[in-house]
A and B are shown apart, each in its own frame.
Chain A
Amino acid sequence: MTDTLIRPPVPSEPPPPPSPWRPGPVLAVIGVLVAALLGGNFLGWRDRFIGAPTAAPVAVASGRQATDGGATATSAAPSGATAKSVLRSNPWWQGVTTLQGTGSTTTAPVAIDPSALQFRATWTCQTGHLTVASNSRPRPFVDSSCPSNNVGYGVDKGSVTLKVTADGPWTIKIDQQIDVPLYEPPLPAMTSPGASVVAKGDFYRVDQVGQGTVTIYRLPSGTYALRLDDFFVTPNSDLEIRLSPLDAPKSTDQFANGPQSALVKALDVTAGALNFDIPPEVNVRQYHSVVLWCEVQHSAYAAASLS
């Protein structure tokens, strides 16, 4: 018997639905994935492409005079192998070197820190004419008849050679403007026998941010000095350290309308660890707080109660 069964025609299968993974959706999913990685700052992408929350860490300065031409780490600096900081001070002038000569010359290289904002040349000359230009910029930043004295500014960084054209003797003091914190070690007199701590306090905010501690020392000489540690105040170029008879000034009005305060010194550096001599005419024992005051803004930035 032969197989006479006639197979029915096999119905053709419906075409499979189109894959949802078309180029558009695939790109969209990749976009979501990239956004997710960026949102997690994966491999530092967000900081690199969009911006980091704070400035890059840089080595702090060790003193008001650059020892090796720029910012260096010191024992007074914050802990850490590299003694770097993301904090920034109000820009301040750090001494670099003083050059002297007679007549025209090309100076030895002057090391301006790569992170410096600018440098200045405070010059004096006696006779004839004086021009000073850097090796990379032919236009002189000092061009004057002598005798005279003034300040010229340049923006070169790194190893800067100055071309001096002069008819007589001249002196040029080079400073660089930097904005890294300054960590000065305590004054030797602060740690010598006979020195004592007479008052101490922590900074708190008034109109701006202020943090750190203030310590007032009586030095063996009988004078007083003030030290700021782990210090930061919102940067401004017109700040002063003042001693106030108030116990704890809480507002600008309270300080401004309160008893007479005494000026210790203008505050040029706004971050780090700093020393200041208190003028001998100031009777420290009359005062109970330290106020960081901005006369231009008429604002008490921060204060510390002394105890």
Chain B
Amino acid sequence: MTSPSTTTTVAEKPKPHVRIRGKDIPVVLPNRRDPRLRLSAIIFTLQFLGQSVLGFKLSIAQILVTILVCGLAEGVMTYRSAHMLVWPASGILTGNSISFILRASGTKHGDWWSLRGIQFFVLAAVVSLLAKHLIRPWRGKHLFNPSNIGIVATLLIIGPARVFPQYLWWGRYGSGPVLAAMAVILFGGYWVLKPVRMHAMVTAFLATFAVVVGIYALAGRNFVAIWHQGPISGMSYWVDIVCSPELLIFVFFMISDPQTAPKSPRGRLMFGVGTALVAAALLLPQSTEFGIKLSVLSSLTFTCALVPFIEGAVARRQARAAGTTPATMPARRRLTAAVLTPTVVAAAIIALAAPIDTSTLIGNKGVVNIERGLTGSRNPQ
């Protein structure tokens, strides 16, 4: 037998597509090497622990609806812009993150199918996706971490009477369920951060934050939390904030989003340290757990808006080191151009409003009463 031809043709594997109204539409399915799948797996594992042994005041229905809204919105927006049906991995992750942190007042653990406060979850989902797809003032990419801005906006706009973030601690120190959750978070942190090379940024955040909050603890700062009798101060102040699973979730799985963090290693270090300093500055005057958690979350909203400036500073430094002069627009022209752009104005309002609005919680007696459990049967948490 001889070969019929000396040329070889390799049959291309047909790309998946669907045919709708006579039009071929490419379909992009999930890729198992996608790091977002790892993160989703970690969050789903923690959700399972939360629903089973950690007593999360969150229903399965709230989780599913939030993920569904985010997934559908992401799919529709991507189809409109790219004319492809793309598996909404980011949307699902955003929905999962929102439902993991946001809580609707009055939801009871174990009430699996409760839709209580579902409108707040939907609001957070819509804000997240709108911010992601509409606020793209720099290099055509989104500026804010989607789930972060959705949660911060919902917590601030709806307020402590209706919503609250998941508690800093999910049980007693050293209890089995908390240890299991911590193990998942620490393993997940390593597993998720390694491929995206975010370890240095995370370490920079944690080290800076731990030192500053430690100084606050030594200076006698304290806060009240619904799950604790009396003010939390001293070593407990430091441990309950810095070592809390909720903070580790924020550090490992929220600020480390490669899409919204700086690209350069130096920029990432600056971003980590800067976010820690802003978070610490915002939480210093806060005397409630609600205020402290919102301070931490708002710090990221603020510093995400600084990423273009961080990247610019790093680029200028690199250019100076290389002996070249980067082409930059004069500052005045840049400002004029920015003011002329609605997305930049919107981004600036959001970036400034998050920390300013968070600061209005300082001394809010209503929030203090909530955290001290003095609101009785109408206690939102």
Contact = CB atoms under 8 A, between A and B. Distances in A.
Interface of A: 19-21, 25-26, 28-29, 32-33, 35-36, 38-41, 46-47, 50-55, 86-88, 90, 204-205, 208-209, 211, 232, 234-235, 270
A204 B229 contact: yes
16 contacts: A28-B134, A35-B153, A35-B353, A39-B156, A39-B353, A40-B353, A50-B157, A53-B366, A54-B366, A54-B370, A54-B375, A55-B378, A88-B376, A88-B378, A211-B372, A235-B377
A33 B374 CA distance: 33
A46 B342 CA distance: 25
Interface stretch (B33-41, B247-255, B327-335, B357-365): B357-365
Contact of B380 (A28, A29, A46, A53): A53
A39 B157 contact: yes
Nearest to A205: B229
Contacts of B356: 36, 40
Contacts of A204: 229-230
Given A28-B134, A29-B346, A50-B162, A35 B157 contact: yes
B160 interface: yes
B258 interface: no
Nearest to B161: A51
Contacts of B346: 28-29, 32
B75 interface: no
B349 interface: yes
B326 interface: no
Looking at chain A's contact residues, is the secondary structure mostly helix, strand, loop, or mixed? Answer: loop
A209 B373 contact: yes
Interface in B329-359: 340-343, 345-346, 349-350, 352-354, 356-357
B366 A36 contact: no
Contact of A26 (B158, B161, B342, B364): B342
What interface size band does chain B fall in? 35 or more
B159 A50 contact: yes
Residue from A204, A205, A209 having most chain B Cβ neighbours under 10 A: A209
B159 A41 contact: yes
A170 B349 CA distance: 69
Query: What's the dominant secondary structure at chain B's contact region?
Result: helix
B367 interface: yes
B369 interface: yes
B161 A38 contact: no
A208 B379 CA distance: 12
B365 A86 contact: yes
A29 B342 contact: yes
B342 A53 contact: no
A75 B104 CA distance: 39
A91 to B, nearest CB: 10
Contacts of B367: 53
Nearest to B155: A39
A79 to B, nearest CB: 14
Contact of B369 (A38, A40, A53, A270): A53
B357 A52 contact: no
Contacts of B342: 20-21, 25-26, 28-29
B144 to A, nearest CB: 12
B214 to A, nearest CB: 28
A47 B159 CA distance: 8
A36 B161 contact: no
Nearest to B377: A235
B357 A209 contact: no
Contact of B345 (A29, A35, A40, A208): A29
Interface string B145-164: 00000000100111111100
Contacts of A21: 340, 342
Given A54-B161, A87-B376, 7 more contacts: A36-B350, A39-B156, A50-B158, A51-B159, A53-B160, A54-B374, A234-B373
A32 B350 CA distance: 7
Contacts of A232: 374
